[in-house]
Structure 1
Amino acid sequence: MTDVTIVVGYTANEAGADALALANRVASAAEALLEVVMILPSEARNALVPADAGYERYLREQSREWLAEASKHLGADVASKLHLRYAESYAEGLVAAAHEFGASLIVVGAAGGGLLGRSRIGSVANELLHSSDVPVVIAPAGSREVPASQGVTRVTACVGTRPGADALLESAIVLARATKAPLRLLSLVPIDLPHGLDPELVALTSTVHAEEVLDEARQALPDGIEATVETATGASIEDAVRALDWHPGELVLVGSSRLAAPRHLFLGSTAAKMLRELPAPMIVVPRTTRSS
């Protein structure tokens, strides 16, 4: 077993099943410990309204049954533990659990109503993506249909020159090593540019800049780690994402927005645009790690 620990926020619905399936697949590939967590409303959530002891007991028992049922869908090769935790908010509870277990990743499901294979951000994911200091991955709709045997077929790191690139690259390297997956460095800079600029000049400048970014990232790789490099091109981020090839078992890492507070996430506009088109799970990495 590796020293990788994954926290998955489980709910007894399709989004929870997607999150559990993705977490199970990554944990299997990385030989990671999987902490399956259900968050219940804090018993102290409202001091003005006395808690209904009978309802609280029913909720605990029902949640334990849901967790037991969820455990039946985990691979025999995955070391896992089941937990009930109380918190004022679901996102707050998951972040606290990630700290408690020393997790390197939090997995949650996408909101309902999204396209198959795509991720739609719901309220929990939105709160996590604007507050967590632990990398967060959104499991696309339909992740439960991807067999665990698919493994992780590639890790793609979307690199740039803004603060946080080092943390992103480090996380991608750790994940690629743990899952024994090939690493791809992808440059998305810059595609969405102001109108009115000379297209040929923009294309030339973009290509040169992208190559410099990728070369710098490649040089930062430690000994024994190799990576393919690729530049995304298109009239928009969405066009570039659609034009690229994506593996069925791929994981994609992006850095948190420069607007994020140190050691916390904030989903930037580029990542948000990617998320709408990306046919693979996206992992959002804080600008710095908690140990930095």
Structure 2
Amino acid sequence: MSDLRIVVGYTANESGADALALANRVASAAEGVLEVVMVLPSEAHNARVPVDQGYLRYLREQSREWLTEASTHLGADVASKLHIRYAESFAEGLIDAAHEFDANLIVVGAAGGGRRAHARVGSVANELLHSSDVPVALAPPGAREITAGLGVTRITACIGTRPGADEQLEAATALARATRAPLRLLSLVPIDLPAGLDTHLAELTSSTHAEQVLHDAHRALPDGIEATVEIARGSTIEDAVHALDWHDGELVLVGSSRLAAPRRLFLGSTAAKVLRELPVPMIVVPRTTHGKTSQ
């Protein structure tokens, strides 16, 4: 069993089913531990707040039933526990649970987009991406249709053209080792320039810089870890994403924005564009993370 411990925020709807399926698949591939968490409003656990006790009993019983039903969708090979937690918000409850269990990853369902398997950031994910110090995985719509037996077929780390990707590269390497998946280092080099500029020269300069960054990242990999290196090109970020091949069982790691506070996540504009086009789950890694790193 690996040290990978995953907190999945479960809700009894399609988004929750997508999150559960993704977390189950990653935990199965890594022989990790899955903590399935339902978060209830803290008022329901606060005796000082006058609330209907019959409703509270119903809410707790219903939540236990939903969790029990969710557990039937987990693989027999996955070590898992079911939890009910109370918090002011769903995101706060998940972050507290991640700290409680010393988790390496929080998994939630992303809000549905206009196309199957593409995602947008919903309210819960948005709050997590602005407050979590633990990496967050966003399960796109339809993730529940990918069988756990597929495992994790590849880890793609999107390496930016600026320095400071150490945490992201470390997280990608650890996840690739834990899931026994091949690692791909990727740079997205869009040619999105104002009219009148020499696009050929700009493309050459940008590509050369990207190649150097990828070369440096590849050299920084620990012993025993091999990775392919790829540069995606296109007239826009969206075109660059579409030009790539993606596996059904793939996971993509991006770093949080350089504007994010230390130990916090923030989804930058480029990563947000990538998320809208990706047909596979995205994991956002803070600049420094809470707790342990999986081995």
TM-score tier (shorter): over 0.9
SS at match of 2:36: strand
- 1:101-112 aligned within 5 A: 101-112=101-112
TM-score, normalised by the number of residues in structure 2? 0.95
Size of the aligned set, in residue pairs, is: 292
Task: Quickly say closer, same or farther: Cα 1:220–1:190, change in 2 above 3 A.
Answer: farther
SS at match of 2:117: coil
1:255 aligned onto 2:228: no
Partner of 2:123: 123
In terms of mean alpha carbon deviation, does 12-21 or 198-207 score higher?
198-207
SS at match of 1:188: strand
1:275 aligned onto 2:272: no
Contact conserved, 1:163 with 1:258, CA < 8 A, in 2? no
Task: Quickly say closer, same or farther: Cα 1:263–1:190, change in 2 above 3 A.
Answer: farther
**Structure 2 alignment gaps of length 5 or more:** none
**Structure 1 alignment gaps of length 5 or more:** none
In 2, the alpha carbon distance for the partners of 1:144 and 1:291 equals 28
Shift of residue 290 of structure 1?
A: 2.5
Identity within the alignment, % = 77
In 2, the alpha carbon distance for the partners of 1:200 and 1:219 equals 28
Contact conserved, 1:186 with 1:229, CA < 8 A, in 2? yes
Contact conserved, 1:257 with 1:268, CA < 8 A, in 2? yes
Shift of residue 197 of structure 1?
A: 2.1
In 2, the alpha carbon distance for the partners of 1:44 and 1:144 equals 30
- 1:1-292 aligned within 5 A: 1-43=1-43, 50-162=50-162, 164-189=164-189, 191-290=191-290
In 1, the alpha carbon distance for the partners of 2:235 and 2:113 equals 28
SS at match of 2:75: coil
SS at match of 2:166: helix
SS at match of 2:119: coil
SS at match of 1:232: strand
Deviations 1:18-48 (A, max 9, x none): 0000000000001010000000000279999
Shift of residue 162 of structure 1?
A: 3.3
In terms of mean alpha carbon deviation, does 262-271 or 46-55 score higher?
46-55
TM-score, normalised by the number of residues in structure 1? 0.96
In terms of mean alpha carbon deviation, does 9-18 or 53-62 score higher?
53-62
Shift of residue 149 of structure 1?
A: 0.7
